[in-house]
A and B are shown apart, each in its own frame.
Chain A
Amino acid sequence: MSTTTSTQVAPRTRRPLRLYQIGSHLFISVMLLLSLIPTYLLITWSFKNGLQYRWERWAISFPLRWRNYIAAWDVVGDYMINTIIVAIIGLMGMLLLSLIGGYVFARMDFPFRETLYYAIIALLMVPWVLSFIPAYMVYVRLGLLNTRLAMIIPELAGGPIFGIFLMRAFISGIPEELFESARCDGAGVLDLIGRITLPLSLPGLATLAVLNFIGVWNSFLWPLVMIQDDEKQMIAVGLYKLARSATSGGVPGWTSQDFSVWGPLYAGYVIASLPLVLLFIVLGKFYVEGLVDSGLKV
């Protein structure tokens, strides 16, 4: 990348330092290019027909086969719509509960406040392997097997655990005078949450929303065991099953019109990545914060 311009910025730079800077630029660029290879292959393969996939594995083949994308959408589209519906319903509830919880713990004083708060935060320490099997049994018992509700509830119930942690810290940073003056005007708790806290905590909520959307989009094992009907299936499991049928036997509707299933399959992978790309373009800063916060959500 721009190895030459960089060192001119600092005039006091000495020669070994400049060499060091050039070396770093080179090393970083190589590492980043290597890590981009799978993404590059994914995109180029998505535009190929069977022969091009076989013989022009590394190059971009022209003309680009947009037909792959049409064939892919026929299969992947429903999974994506399912996932988006589940994610949005779950997100709305999760954000509301996180906002309320964050407000209550940050701005209200009541007996056992810290005890209740730590009772929630302690759940962050429970690893999912411990709950996975019994949670499945609980959901089966409640008749939630093979329902969309089984996809929404984990987000709705589990999302606020980290959400309250994040929103409490966020809402604590809002100056008390704002609440004080609103109380003077006779505002009740719900007004304080809806009219003052909500507009001021949008950045925190955006981070939380992105974090949870990525979580739902990537959720795999839970829908794999909970959802049996293909028409209710979530995107990650949908892609997994699609890849399996593509490698063994073929996908209905693809083999007849195309040389191979590979082009449409990779086109499907690309389509499935687009919501995340879109989210990053629209909410870039919050996307990165959401990613970083996902690390804190141990």
Chain B
Amino acid sequence: MTEVTGAAEQSRATDAAVRTLVRSSELSTWQAMRRSWQAYALLAPIFILLIIFNYYPPILGLLRAFYRWRPGVEASFVGLQHFGVYFTSPETGRELLNMFKLLAFFFFSGAVVPFIMAVLIFRIRDTESKELYRLFLIIPMLVPLIVVILLWKQIYDPNLGVINGLLEQVGLGFLALNWLGDTATALYAIMFMGFPWVSGVGTLIYLGGLGQISESIFDACEVDGCTGLRRTLLIDLPLVLGQVRLMTILAVIAGVTSFQTILVLTDGGPGFATMVPGLTMFHKAFRTQQFGYAASIGMILFVITFTATLAVNRTIHPAVEDVRH
């Protein structure tokens, strides 16, 4: 796809494309760059915006993690102090544990469950119901995320929530709990949100991956009597490993960085029961104005996501491409 295509952009000569190509390799880089001024001119606005708003902030963040920093005040260097404070503070262990629990759960709800759902839908023979199922997968995604979170908050509500309402109706009222307000259940209630976790991008991505597998492979499978669970584990799973890897990385990133749901549902409470490092970062910056400290937590989270992403990339190797069509 990235064959050299338009070397003769500004020459406008009809048959000069090949000749220009040959000549341009003889020219010095500087001359070639001058000849391509149009390309650089077109890219200039993009790079100006990117440098100010997309390269500069993360670099600044990495630097300011070692500073005391707040708006309107000169930043002062404090060395590794923020990291020392963070790793010795009493809540940190709990936060990190919560984060890893969420991460592990997001792997299940984001990578495993959608895979099962996709395999089941993929094997449905009737194309009409297949399409209908796809549509029903998408409908819940037409509701904005914040609405979904606020709805679940209402569903968990101790007095007006439907979970406790249902429990009372079937005579199990003694099981009713303040799901989000109880230290013992709050984190699990956050995980349970979105049950049964099938609708979402994951199932669609897996369905796309399964659709790419060559038909001949499935035919060969059937001839060899490889069906059901055996086929899932020996054929489907290895051939969508690329998608598995993607969903695993997404789960890792969601587990480490996404605290929006927690902010809305519990704000880290009750106490510190559902606190995660990302939310601490947010609180430190916007409630106590410790922007340098917050930047250092951001840096820790970056290192964790980066290492985990690399580890996932090293562990999961997608199958060779020639079995796809």
Contacts and interface: CB of A to CB of B under 8 A. Distances in A.
Contacts of B177: none
Interface string A54-72: 1001100000000000000
A36 B146 contact: no
Interface stretch (B34-42, B84-92, B180-188, B315-323): B34-42
Interface stretch (B128-136, B213-221, B232-240): B128-136
Nearest to A98: B46
A203 B151 CA distance: 34
Interface size range on B against A: 35 or more
Contacts of A35: 140, 194-199
A27 B69 CA distance: 54
A157 B142 contact: no
Contacts of A134: 56-58, 60-61, 64, 295, 298
A108 B46 contact: no
B124 A42 contact: no
Nearest to B193: A38
B190 interface: no
Given A137-B60, A184-B14, A104 B42 contact: yes
A41 interface: yes
B128 A220 contact: no
B4 A109 contact: yes
Contacts of B230: none
Contacts of A183: 8, 12, 14
Contact of A273 (B54, B136, B143): B143
B1 A173 contact: yes
A294 to B, nearest CB: 6
B198 A291 contact: no
B157 to A, nearest CB: 9
A282 interface: no
B62 A130 contact: yes
Given A135-B57, A217-B144, A41 B39 contact: no
Nearest to B145: A218
Interface class of chain B by DSSP: helix
Interface residues of A, number: 102
Contacts of A5: 126
A231 interface: no
Contacts of A32: 133, 136-137, 198-199
B189 interface: no
A292 B306 CA distance: 23
A169 B58 contact: no
- Chain A binding surface, main DSSP class: helix
Contacts of A25: 124, 129
Interface of B: 1-2, 4-10, 12, 14, 17, 21, 24, 29, 32-33, 35-36, 38-40, 42-43, 45-47, 49-50, 52-58, 60-62, 64, 69, 71, 117, 120-121, 123-126, 128-129, 132-133, 136-148, 150-153, 155, 160, 162, 165, 194-199, 201-202, 204-205, 208, 227-228, 246-247, 249-250, 253, 256-257, 260, 263-264, 278, 281-282, 285-286, 291, 294-295, 298-299, 301-302, 305-306, 309
30 contacts: A2-B126, A6-B129, A20-B228, A24-B123, A35-B140, A35-B199, A42-B143, A57-B162, A58-B162, A109-B5, A109-B6, A109-B36, A110-B32, A110-B40, A116-B47, A125-B309, A126-B54, A134-B56, A134-B64, A136-B285, A153-B53, A154-B53, A169-B1, A183-B14, A186-B12, A237-B146, A273-B144, A276-B144, A277-B142, A291-B138
Given A57-B162, A57-B165, A138-B60, 16 more contacts: A32-B133, A39-B140, A97-B49, A101-B42, A106-B1, A108-B36, A126-B302, A133-B298, A153-B53, A218-B145, A236-B144, A236-B146, A269-B147, A273-B143, A294-B201, A298-B246
Interface of A: 1-2, 5-7, 9-10, 13, 17, 20-21, 24-25, 27-28, 31-32, 34-36, 38-39, 41-42, 54, 57-58, 97, 100-101, 103-104, 106-113, 116, 120, 123, 125-138, 140, 153-154, 156-158, 160-161, 164, 169, 172-173, 176, 179-180, 183-184, 186, 188-189, 217-218, 220-221, 225, 235-237, 239-240, 243, 269, 272-273, 276-277, 280, 287-288, 291-292, 294-296, 298
